[in-house]
Amino acid sequence: MGADTMVSFSTPEYVSGYVERTARFVPGLRDLHRMTGLLLAERAPAGGRVLVLGAGGGMELRALAEMQPEWRFDGVDPSPEMLELARANLGALASRVTFHQGYIDSAPDGPFDAATCLLTLHFLKDDERRKTVAAVHSRLKPGAPFVIAHHSFPNSRSDKDRWLQRYAAFLTAAGVPAAQAQGSIGSMKELLPVMSPEEDVAVLQESGFLDVELFYAGFTFKGWVGYKA
């Protein structure tokens, strides 16, 4: 991710309260983690090795580590502060995670039995997103699953405005002051390179992922699983 995205993942304001805020602002987040674990476990063996891209905060790492006591993880994230938060949230479970500060190129070659990238790809512009997804693909074993989830909604001007207003309404219903919610969607509209669901699927398919299926739709968020051939 370049330095020109809408969020600085290193500011104290962003990092503190991250876990509580994310759980409120992403519909069904705990279930998203549970479904991710189940989808990965359909293919990954008990002692599997899992790549977690955008691992900062450690929420999905924690959920996956609790679901599968023998999986080992490589967690990749460019933000030292978000990685530190992940370590803190994992506690003793952190002993099963090797952390890598950086982007996908900092990840080991694998090959991995499975990979995830949650709440992260929507920050990446088109070209970087394609390269990142392809680089995940190259690190997987044949047949391995890749689970992604992030903001994804139709992006013609009127569709985009409608879905952003719906997200503002969701934030407000979750306790965010209305003016702040409007500010958030203003930044999203200007700076977040959200793709349509069709474009998201195409990025996975162009990188070589097969049998791509939507498994999660939480208002503006969508999640897919795809498999390396």
Ligand X SMILES: C[S@@+](CC[C@H](N)C(=O)[O-])C[C@H]1O[C@@H](n2cnc3c(N)ncnc32)[C@H](O)[C@@H]1O
Q: Which region among 52-60, 66-74, 172-180, 192-200 touches ligand X (by CB under 6 A)?
A: 52-60
C-alpha span between 158 and 160 (Å, rounded): 5
How far is C-alpha 82 from the chain's CA centre? 13
Angle, CA 187 vertex, CA 185 and CA 191 arms, to 5°: 120
Asked if residues 48 and 151 have their Cβ atoms less than 8 Å apart, the reply is no
Query: Under the criterion CB under 6 A, does residue 41 sit at the interface with ligand X?
Result: no
Residues 97-126 that bind ligand X (CB under 6 A): 103-104, 118-120, 123-124
- Our CB check for ligand X shows the closer of 48 and 75 to be 75
Query: Under the criterion CB under 6 A, does residue 60 sit at the interface with ligand X?
Result: yes
Residues 66-85 that bind ligand X (CB under 6 A): 76-79, 82
Residues 167-226 that bind ligand X (CB under 6 A): none
- Our CB check for ligand X shows the closer of 78 and 226 to be 78
Query: Under the criterion CB under 6 A, does residue 144 sit at the interface with ligand X?
Result: no
Binding footprint of ligand X on the chain (CB under 6 A) = 1, 9, 22, 53-54, 56-57, 59-60, 76-79, 82, 103-104, 118-120, 123-124, 132
